[in-house]
Amino acid sequence: MQPSNAFEADAEYGRSRGVRRRGSRPSQSGSDRAPFEVTIDSQNEPVLRAPDRGVSYASNADMDHASVVMYRTLSTASALDLAAKIKKERKPVADDSGDHANQIRNISIHKVDKDAVFGKYDTSLDGLTSKQVEALAANGKINMITPVKSNFLRKLLGYVFGGFNSLMWVAMILCIISYEPLGEPNPSIFNIGVAFVLFVVIVVSTLFYASVDYKSSQVMKSIKTLVSDTAVVTRDGVKMEVDAKSLKPGDIVHLSLGQRVPADIRLVEVSPDLRIDRSLLTGESDPIPATVAMTDENPLETHNLALSSTFVVQGSGVGVVFAIGDDTVIGRIFHLSTKQTDDSTVLQREINKVTICISIIAITFFGVAMMTWGLYTNKQHAGFATLSQAIVNSIGCLTSIVPQGLPVCVALALTIVARIMAARKVLVKNLSIVESAGCMSVLCSDKTGTLTEGHMFVQGLGFIDKTYNDLKSIAKTPIVDLMTRIAYLCNDASFDESQPGTGADRPINGNSTDVAIFKFAVTHTDYGKVDAEYTRVFNIPFNSKSKWMMTVCRCEATGELELYIKGAPDVLASFMTKTIDSAGNAQPLDPAARQHINEMQEAWSRKGQRVLMAGYKKLTMKTFAAGDADFTKKFVSDNLKDICFVGLVGICDPPRADVPGAVRKMRGAGVRIAMVTGDFRLTAEAISRQIGIITSSVVDDLPQMRARKDLYARVSRLTFEQMKPSDDEPVKALVLTGNDVIELEPQDWNVICTEYPEVVFARTTPEQKMLIVEEFKRRGDNIVGVTGDGVNDAPALKTSDIGMAMGAGSDVAKEAAQIVLLNNDFASILVAIENGRLVFENLKKVSLYVMPGGSYTEMMGVITNVFLGMQIPLTSYQQVIFCILHDVTMSISLMFEKPESDLMKQKPRNVRTSRLVDWKFLFQIYCFIGLMTWLSCFGMFFLYWRWQGFGFYDLMLVFDNWKEEYKGHTLEDLNAKLAVSQSIFYVTMTIMQFGNILATRNRRMSMWHSNPFWGPRRNKALLIVMAIHLIICVLNVYISTAPGVNNIFRFGYVPYQFWLLPIPLAVGVLLADETRKYIVRNYPDSFIARMAW
């Protein structure tokens, strides 16, 4: 005869097999009924609720309705309401994310019995027929999550025409046209040479961008592993193994130990010990006991559904497939998470703005130059330049203003920093997200496993007359022996028998709480002796609704039965009527004793510990024969009273050793850390204090916050952008629960984001976490980072500006995140923040380096040619080669610069007001470094012509007078001298960049305190690139003067004096900037300091 329920099955198993400690652990769960009424619900499971009377062992302020110290139950239905609220408040977008949320909410298959399930899918335990499978396959649906499609053509066009490449294409085409047909009848080979160089630039940058993007796209491919490869099914009455992709709704699937659930399945048969690990889906580490009957209205909470991508960790079962592929819960959550936000990062948006701005300026200058030629120069000085020459010269407006090397430098910089972070176990999926981490102003962090070690252990034992806060000093007393026996026998953890070894150090299987208690028990008792003396004959496992676990064991020596129970203090307290002292003497549990227990439990909770209560009772019955559900109901009703309080167990999940230091550094860097956890309020607050998230002595709750009308009045006068904590105000702390979050109004969020630098959100769901992220993003120009590890965290990770998944987290969480912390270490976030800030600082230095020479000085040369009629001082080839080879080579070294000493003492960059290029930055370029550079280059240019007998006014406003016999020189002689002067201009600009790069590598520090050649801020790359920079210049000058080549690239021989004269000018740039830095450091209120970039 088959047992009718899990209780009967467990009792039958114990009777027939004589199982002692290692007996099967059945599963029960219940629904809410009348206070303290022990009933069997419609699913034949025991239900118990605390009464209205009695003593509560947690203060009213610390209880949030159905919250308990130890355990958490996700309220997904309410959470989906919040997610829907967020969607309504956002701007409309063309996606179906709301439909995905509704489809998850509307799952109802768990609410009907198994006969109705069979009827709905026209199936039975014999499975689908071959014809049914063939008919279902006709709809084309397969059991596979469809990856997000990427538009290859769009990507290709982005590689080829993205950034400044579009301008380079325009310039290259114009150069070709200038050769033919506009160059007829005497086309210049020089035009083709410039076009060739521009084409090489386009090809190299395209290949580089494509390779970087390809490497990034290969980082995460794990989504393909979310569906099991094979499945065992029954079809046509035959049990067989099939490809999991071929599963169809109605298939009968057999689940077994170690298997990944291949689809969403409604369970119709389960073994008593079937456990399913949903950690990948929910982030919760405790496996849930599976049942046939519904245990919760919520489809994500009920135990009679086995959802795709979860794991069978114990037992076996049979179920009916009700959803496959994209229709599964994990498929819908995945697609919901992939459609939350714009993929562009802070840095990408910043670069796009700079690109558009510079492109507009370049095109404008090009247009003005051509209009000047057409309306004035060609009419007044017809011989000055042909149309072909005018186009090529005007191309200088494109190539001179555009820092062609900047995009390449950006990509190289991000690649370098990403590799540095990878070495620190921080994996960056999207390179440009690195810089966003440096802008992060708010971090919403998990607690368990992120801020804490994630390894629980028993910290203390509390008895009615003795407390042990250090287990090393525990005494062998009767009460301790009883407590260790309860911890060992009333426990669903067990040794991993598949692993070799003996003794208490063997691996242990079970949920984290049971493992901690089990490890304590086997360490402090002779568990082999306990196994021999006691046999477990009845067991009710813990579930999140009853919040206790009960076992009945027989003492083999006396034949007596003993009931052991452990669970949440606030639930079990009212069952306790007596207690036992250290000597084993029983006594009544009077109000004073209850108060003592209450204070002990609350004190431990404030230390961040989870607290369990343990009790026992000797049963009067001598035999135990479990029967049907009615027997179980009667047994629980008769015996769940007059329990003897044994003691409290304090379980600790300690903070990671490096977290307090990391939190302190982050707060010093202006990053606001908000803990968002599912744990109990007191525990969350205690851990927050231990690690420094909360430092205020006074902590407000929601009613106290709402009572502070002055805060609401002050915030009401602010704009959304101004809603951020002020350093001038005293630090205030706030702790809210998930129930509080549901009640919050917009004005409440305004106060939270503005007035409370220290915030903890306890007992929250992942969807509430998404709401918290949205509200922080909406105010104060915040860049919000989020940590998460479960599938349900994916929407929040995607919604955030910087999603950070734990390396041990779910595949979907890692897919949704931009950064993966491979070592699950909170301190690694500090690495991301520091390197993100360093990226922006170094990119700003790169921009400042490339623009004075490769942009500003070249532009001034083009302006003198187009508008002042002077021969162009730098050819188009020299302009392009300087921007690409020289600028890129030298700027690479800036990306290896170490952070300046005050980098992590500054507040996060405000992405709305602090830009890569701002007016202070432009002042440094155009009125300081760039001004000295172009004046020096023109000075050397005119000095050479002075040596050749030409004065300043002999070169200005020449226009079409530059011809045979001008100043007594042949045209060939004039052009030869021009080639030399252009080469001198090029050489001078090359040498001036030495002074520029040494000045630019520090914003505030003196070079003498940050020596690039030795010491802590040594930059090995700088010496190397300076040598390469000079070698490129020498090769260009002397190889290009060889016969034949000279006609293409137009270089001239540079006298040695002009290699030496620019050196003191470069030193002058460095000394001038050192003087500026000295004023900035010592006179912060001066005009120079206020103008500092």
805 three-class SS: strand
Mean pLDDT score, 808-819 = 75
Tell whether the model's pLDDT for residue 594 goes beyond 90.
yes
Same domain membership, residue 449 and residue 460: no
In a domain, 803, yes or no: yes
The angle at the Cα of 141, spanning 139 to 144, to the nearest 5 degrees, equals 175
What six digits make up the tokens of 139? 């709809």
Nearest-angstrom CA–CA distance, 84 and 104: 13
What pLDDT score does 682 carry? Answer: 85
Dihedral sign, Cα of residue 314, residue 319, residue 324, residue 326:
negative
Domain count, the chain: 4
Nearest-angstrom CA–CA distance, 1027 and 432: 30
What pLDDT score does 82 carry? Answer: 43
Tell whether the model's pLDDT for residue 12 goes beyond 60.
no
Tell whether the model's pLDDT for residue 960 goes beyond 60.
yes
Helices 165-179 & 152-161 angle (0-180, nearest 10):
60
In a domain, 546, yes or no: yes
Dihedrals phi, psi of 656, to nearest 5 degrees: -60, 145
What six digits make up the tokens of 1038? 């002397």
What pLDDT score does 487 carry? Answer: 95
What pLDDT score does 999 carry? Answer: 93
Nearest CA among 492, 489, 564, 504 for reference residue 534: 489
Taking a C-beta distance cutoff of 8 angstroms, is the pair 677, 762 a contact? yes
Question: pLDDT, tens digit, for every residue of 932-946?
Answer: 999 999 999 999 999
Selected residue with higher pLDDT from 505 and 490: 490
Which residues constitute the domain of residue 988? 918-1093
What pLDDT score does 850 carry? Answer: 84
What pLDDT score does 380 carry? Answer: 84
Same domain membership, residue 823 and residue 934: no
Tell whether the model's pLDDT for residue 293 goes beyond 60.
yes
Which of 599, 619, 652 is the last residue before a domain boundary?
652
Same domain membership, residue 613 and residue 644: yes
Mean pLDDT score, 212-224 = 52
What six digits make up the tokens of 368? 């003005």
Q: Count other C-beta atoms under 10 Å from residue 960's C-beta.
A: 14
In a domain, 1081, yes or no: yes
Amino acid at 415: T
In a domain, 217, yes or no: no
Mean pLDDT score, 731-755 = 93
Tell whether the model's pLDDT for residue 342 goes beyond 50.
no
Taking a C-beta distance cutoff of 8 angstroms, is the pair 673, 659 a contact? no
269 three-class SS: strand
Taking a C-beta distance cutoff of 8 angstroms, is the pair 383, 963 a contact? yes
Which of 599, 620, 652 is the last residue before a domain boundary?
652
Same domain membership, residue 582 and residue 499: yes
Question: pLDDT, tens digit, for every residue of 765-790?
Answer: 777 888 999 999 999 888 999 987 76
In a domain, 602, yes or no: yes
Which of 303, 337, 371 is the last residue before a domain boundary?
337
| Percent of the chain predicted with pLDDT > 70 | 82
Taking a C-beta distance cutoff of 8 angstroms, is the pair 650, 604 a contact? yes
* pTM summary value: 0.69
Nearest-angstrom CA–CA distance, 1051 and 1031: 16
Range with the lowest mean pLDDT among 49-58, 145-154, 456-465, 816-825? Answer: 49-58
Tell whether the model's pLDDT for residue 901 goes beyond 70.
yes
CA 495 remoteness from chain centre: 36
What pLDDT score does 100 carry? Answer: 58
Question: pLDDT, tens digit, for every residue of 826-869?
Answer: 888 988 898 888 888 888 888 888 888 877 888 888 888 888 88
Q: Which residues pair with 270 in a beta bridge?
A: 317
What six digits make up the tokens of 975? 């052009």
Question: pLDDT, tens digit, for every residue of 448-490?
Answer: 778 888 788 998 999 999 999 888 878 888 999 999 999 999 9
Tell whether the model's pLDDT for residue 650 goes beyond 50.
yes
In a domain, 517, yes or no: yes
Nearest-angstrom CA–CA distance, 337 and 327: 15
Mean pLDDT score, 969-995 = 93
In a domain, 718, yes or no: yes
What pLDDT score does 584 carry? Answer: 84
Range with the lowest mean pLDDT among 680-684, 716-720, 976-980? Answer: 680-684
Q: What is the DSSP string of 608-667?
A: TEEEEEEEEEE-S-S-----SHHHHHHHHHHHSSSEEEEEEEEEE-PBPTTHHHHHHHHH
Nearest-angstrom CA–CA distance, 878 and 746: 59
Tell whether the model's pLDDT for residue 630 goes beyond 70.
no
Helix, strand, coil percentages (3-state) for the chain, rounded to 5, are 50, 15, 35
Mean pLDDT score, 509-533 = 88
Question: pLDDT, tens digit, for every residue of 79-131?
Answer: 434 444 444 444 443 444 456 567 777 888 999 998 999 999 999 999 999 99
User: Could you tell me which residues come within 8 angstroms of residue 343 by beta carbon, excluding any fewer than 6 positions away?
Assistant: 430
Same domain membership, residue 307 and residue 272: yes
Nearest-angstrom CA–CA distance, 809 and 795: 15
**CATH number (domain holding residue 137):** 2.70.150.10
Omega cis (within 30) before 181: yes
End-to-end CA distance of the chain: 84
Residue with tokens 């999940």: 653
Tell whether the model's pLDDT for residue 1007 goes beyond 60.
yes
Q: Count other C-beta atoms under 10 Å from residue 41's C-beta.
A: 18
Same domain membership, residue 684 and residue 626: no
What pLDDT score does 352 carry? Answer: 76
What pLDDT score does 385 carry? Answer: 76
In a domain, 327, yes or no: yes
H or E segment and range at residue 10: helix 6-17
Same domain membership, residue 945 and residue 1066: yes
Taking a C-beta distance cutoff of 8 angstroms, is the pair 825, 656 a contact? yes
Buried b (16+ CB within 10 A) or exposed e, 680-695: bbbbbbbbbbbbbbbe
Dihedral sign, Cα of residue 323, residue 327, residue 328, residue 329:
negative
Nearest-angstrom CA–CA distance, 651 and 647: 13
Nearest CA among 66, 514, 74 for reference residue 286: 514
Question: pLDDT, tens digit, for every residue of 376-422?
Answer: 888 888 777 778 877 877 776 666 677 666 666 677 777 777 778 87
205 three-class SS: helix
Nearest CA among 706, 607, 643, 605 for reference residue 59: 605
What pLDDT score does 750 carry? Answer: 94
| Percent of the chain predicted with pLDDT > 90 | 31
What pLDDT score does 99 carry? Answer: 62
Residues in the chain: 1093
pLDDT band at residue 215 using 50, 70 and 90 as cut-offs: low
What six digits make up the tokens of 1074? 């050192």
Range with the lowest mean pLDDT among 101-115, 440-454, 575-589, 789-803? Answer: 789-803
Same domain membership, residue 791 and residue 743: yes
Nearest-angstrom CA–CA distance, 358 and 924: 17
Same domain membership, residue 664 and residue 608: no
What pLDDT score does 321 carry? Answer: 96
427 three-class SS: strand
pLDDT band at residue 163 using 50, 70 and 90 as cut-offs: low
Residue with tokens 């309401």: 81
Nearest-angstrom CA–CA distance, 666 and 773: 18
**CATH number (domain holding residue 667):** 3.40.50.1000
Same domain membership, residue 770 and residue 628: no
Taking a C-beta distance cutoff of 8 angstroms, is the pair 656, 31 a contact? no
Same domain membership, residue 667 and residue 611: no
pLDDT band at residue 1 using 50, 70 and 90 as cut-offs: very low
Tell me the average pLDDT of the chain. 80
**CATH number (domain holding residue 578):** 3.40.1110.10
What six digits make up the tokens of 533? 């003396």
Same domain membership, residue 802 and residue 791: yes
Which value, to the nearest 10 degrees, does the dihedral of the CA atoms of residues 847, 850, 853, 859 take? -70
Nearest-angstrom CA–CA distance, 47 and 546: 6
> How many H helices and E strands in the chain?
43, 31
